[in-house]
Structure 1
Amino acid sequence: MDTQRTNWTLIALLWTTGLLAAAQFAKLTFTLDGFQAAYQNQPAPLAVSAVSIVGILGGAVAGFFVGKIGARRAVLWAVAMSAVVSLIQGQKMPFEWFMLTRVVEGLGHLLLVVALPTMMVALAKPSDKAVVMGIWGTFFGVGYALLALVVPEIEAWGGISAVYQAHGVLLALIFPLVWFAVPKVMTAGAKMPNFIALHRSIYANPRYFAPALGHGIYTSIFVALVAFLPNALDAVWLMPVLPLANLSGTFASGFIAKRVPASKLSIYGFAAGIVLFALLGLTGSVTVALLALISTGLTAGANFAAVPELNSEPQDQARANGAMAQLGNIGTFSGTPIFALVAGSVWGIAGVSVVICVAGAVIAGLAYRAARMSAV
């Protein structure tokens, strides 16, 4: 690969693959009512979070596993596995079996969110790396926005089964494109470390865990806000708009990070969120809600851009991305059940968001400060 120029075509393909990774969460978020109707008296919201289980347990290991098999092979395995699982989910089955497919799907999701950004940044020249990671950071918001538009149409036509099958078909269609177009990134064959020692090494190094900490705190907000805030504001039309507001901030963060260190921009986003979510609780304003989502979008993109800022080598970036996956999955797993407790109240949602943003500004801020000092 010639990293003196950025391969935007391949980066676009990998980012598009990332949209299908985001759909692994979004397809359940936007079919939750139909899913609950199909599985009455079952804890349906856990089906959204179940994809996170593998990431929680193995996120930190994933970076090394990607290094062992190579990023290209990891993406191919993940796309193929995810396609098969999605097609299976389109069949009728007991709730327990469906939850099992979600856990398996979590393995594919984990490999994608670790390998894809590692490959994208490797395909970019140094001056474009922050922009590329800012673009990567939009994958979740764009994926949610697109599915918010198309899922109701597909569900009205063929039910929730058609939604899951359509996801599997799209994954199957993108597989040959990735197979033929994407080069090898990172030499395969790295040794897998001791599980306990690995976690100690990652979480003892702020250059690895600081972006992940910011990302995990952010993810505890995003999915829950998209799921619950539109109904609380009595504005269901916001469901596809909130992700768009979020990703506008995320996309902008990649360009802002060329002038402002991403490790600082993340904290600025949290600080703005504290003010905006407090105003949202007081006013119930849709405009303020959109501004709050833009601020969290800045934080989301900045956390991704901070990975190459603090880690120059692909192997180090893979480890940092593994920590991102682990703490990000903890955030998505815990956020939805927590916000469900206050789902009917704008003030309740805003209040929880304020507390989370305060934690982000303080805790992630200290971690980023330590990371910058260790990188000097």
Structure 2
Amino acid sequence: MTSDADGAVRTGRPETAESPGSSAYWPRFALLYGCGTLAATGLGKFAPIAVDLRAALALSLDQVALITSSLTAVAAVLGLPVSYLVARTAPRKALFAGCAVMAAAGLLEARAGHFWPLLGARLVEGIGYVAVVVAAPALIISMGGGPRRTTALAVWGTYFPVGLALGLFLGGVLSAFLGWRTWLVVQACTLLAVGTTAVLALGGRAPAAGGPDPAEAAPAPDRRTARRLLRPFLLSLGFATASGTIVAVVSLFPTYLHEVLHVPTSAAGTLTGAVSLTGTVGGFLSGWLLRRGVPVRRLFTGALLMPLGTAVAFLHWGGTGLAAAGAVLVALANELVVAAAFAMIPAVVADPADIDLANGLLAQVGSLGSLLGPPLAGFAVLAAGGWWAVAPTVLAVCVPGTLLLRASVRRAAG
């Protein structure tokens, strides 16, 4: 499997848009997408219950922040190690194990009475989260090749913002009616139910026609692992710049709206959530464009729209509407790039056996970008003494990120 000089995918075999069993393809994909989305709700499930959590467990603001961010921190540390474990077991088992670990941890969180048990359960939940987001795209890839797979992987790239938005919204609504402990139980049980259904739906199935065939001779593996994973690593680094940018923007935007444009705090948070959710349109657009044959390197160039959108959002050129439009442009461009990055995983690996490792790299390096993005942008604002510094900071990150993404899909030498 290679990519041409413009980044168009070539699988080394004729590809058909449909294959036997195609009627079951999208329902199975929907279940895998549901697993990823519900896993991502875990990233936002504590934010709407932070006040109740602090009151019930006598937590400080710093402790709540640590609980909220620890899931991403685990992914930033354990993405690659967990991918090694996933590569050595059946992806279906890894997916179920990830969902089960997350669900068990969620139930323990609902029962926690102190900070340390809650933090411990949250760290365990992070391990399950990494297993889900590594195993699910591997299963999508195993379901068949061709344009359909490209579209599915691009759509998969929207699981994070959709799950985050759902966690924020449902957490606020359900906790208001049921209490914060019941909300955590509902989230955990729903994830386990969807994960179990997905594993049952995918069990005992032969690979779809046109997809990977275990009996097919794989390309001779290159034993030099570092060189073999160079292109996935470049893709992951570029992906990290995009993920760091969007997390930084949505983290700082509510404060900017409140302090500069005098938007009430609650309205600023709601508007930012709407911006994040609107950005998922870019992911679906990316899948559609890739399926129509648009070279992925052109989509990666869309990352340069993020500094432009950031300038519109943070330079106070107009009112709230114009600032929100700039933030939406950032979110749309980000999802366009993120979805394309997920779709390119099969194209940048030299050996199909490395797909799990490439997924782990993307999860780990991308999470590292999400962790570093907000403090980097916040430091720039403080050092420069103004919100104008966000735009040049994003520009300085996105230009090399775009070059890394484009380099990852160039034709391999020779």
TM-score by length of 2: 0.78
| Structure 1 counterpart of 2:73 | 53
Give distance in 2, aligned partners of 1:246 and 1:375.
35
Give distance in 2, aligned partners of 1:125 and 1:362.
31
Shift in Å, 1:264 = 4.1
Where 1:372 maps in the other structure, the secondary structure is: coil
- CA gap of 1:24–1:343, structure 2 versus 1, over 3 A, is farther
Shift in Å, 1:29 = 3.6
| Structure 2 counterpart of 1:191 | none
Give distance in 2, aligned partners of 1:335 and 1:87.
31
- CA gap of 1:342–1:369, structure 2 versus 1, over 3 A, is closer
1:136-175 correspondence runs (5 A): 136-175=156-195
| Structure 1 counterpart of 2:244 | 220
1:317 aligns with 2:351: no
From 27, 35, 45, the equivalent of 1:9 is 27
- CA gap of 1:286–1:41, structure 2 versus 1, over 3 A, is closer
| Structure 1 counterpart of 2:277 | 244
- CA gap of 1:369–1:227, structure 2 versus 1, over 3 A, is closer
Q: Which moved more, 1:223-232 or 1:233-242?
A: 223-232
1:280 aligns with 2:313: yes
Give distance in 2, aligned partners of 1:173 and 1:243.
27
- CA gap of 1:146–1:366, structure 2 versus 1, over 3 A, is closer
| Structure 2 counterpart of 1:298 | 336
Deviation by residue 1:334-365 (Cα, 9 ceiling, x = unmatched): 33444566899xx9667436423532331451
Give distance in 2, aligned partners of 1:375 and 1:55.
32
Give distance in 1, aligned partners of 2:376 and 2:357.
29
Where 1:89 maps in the other structure, the secondary structure is: helix
Deviation by residue 1:31-85 (Cα, 9 ceiling, x = unmatched): 3444455512543222222113332232223332212011111001111111110
- CA gap of 1:18–1:65, structure 2 versus 1, over 3 A, is same
| Structure 2 counterpart of 1:207 | 231
Contact preservation (8 Å) 2:105, 2:125: yes
Contact preservation (8 Å) 1:89, 1:164: yes
Deviation by residue 1:174-206 (Cα, 9 ceiling, x = unmatched): 243123211368999xxxxxxxxx9x9357733
More helix by share: 1
Shift in Å, 1:20 = 1.1
Matched residue pairs, number? 363
Q: Which moved more, 1:100-109 or 1:358-367?
A: 358-367
- CA gap of 1:254–1:370, structure 2 versus 1, over 3 A, is closer
| Structure 2 counterpart of 1:192 | none
AA of the residue aligned to 1:121: I
AA of the residue aligned to 1:16: G
| Structure 1 counterpart of 2:97 | 77
Q: Which moved more, 1:287-296 or 1:112-121?
A: 287-296
1:94 aligns with 2:127: no
Q: Which moved more, 1:173-182 or 1:84-93?
A: 173-182
1:356 aligns with 2:356: no
Contact preservation (8 Å) 1:202, 1:319: no
Give distance in 2, aligned partners of 1:349 and 1:11.
41
Shift in Å, 1:91 = 1.9
Contact preservation (8 Å) 2:134, 2:359: yes
Q: Which runs of 5+ in 1 are unaligned?
A: 189-197
- CA gap of 1:85–1:351, structure 2 versus 1, over 3 A, is same
Give distance in 2, aligned partners of 1:164 and 1:357.
38
1:257 aligns with 2:284: no
Give distance in 2, aligned partners of 1:34 and 1:270.
38
Deviation by residue 1:1-22 (Cα, 9 ceiling, x = unmatched): x983541111110000111111
Larger radius of gyration: 2
AA of the residue aligned to 1:118: A
From 31, 37, 45, the equivalent of 1:19 is 37
- CA gap of 1:169–1:370, structure 2 versus 1, over 3 A, is closer
Give distance in 1, aligned partners of 2:275 and 2:41.
16
| Structure 1 counterpart of 2:129 | 109
Where 1:52 maps in the other structure, the secondary structure is: helix
Contact preservation (8 Å) 2:314, 2:388: yes
- What is the CA RMSD across the aligned residues, in angstroms? 3.1
Give distance in 1, aligned partners of 2:391 and 2:228.
28
TM-score by length of 1: 0.85
Give distance in 2, aligned partners of 1:31 and 1:348.
31
Contact preservation (8 Å) 1:14, 1:116: yes
- CA gap of 1:52–1:76, structure 2 versus 1, over 3 A, is same
Shift in Å, 1:366 = 3.5
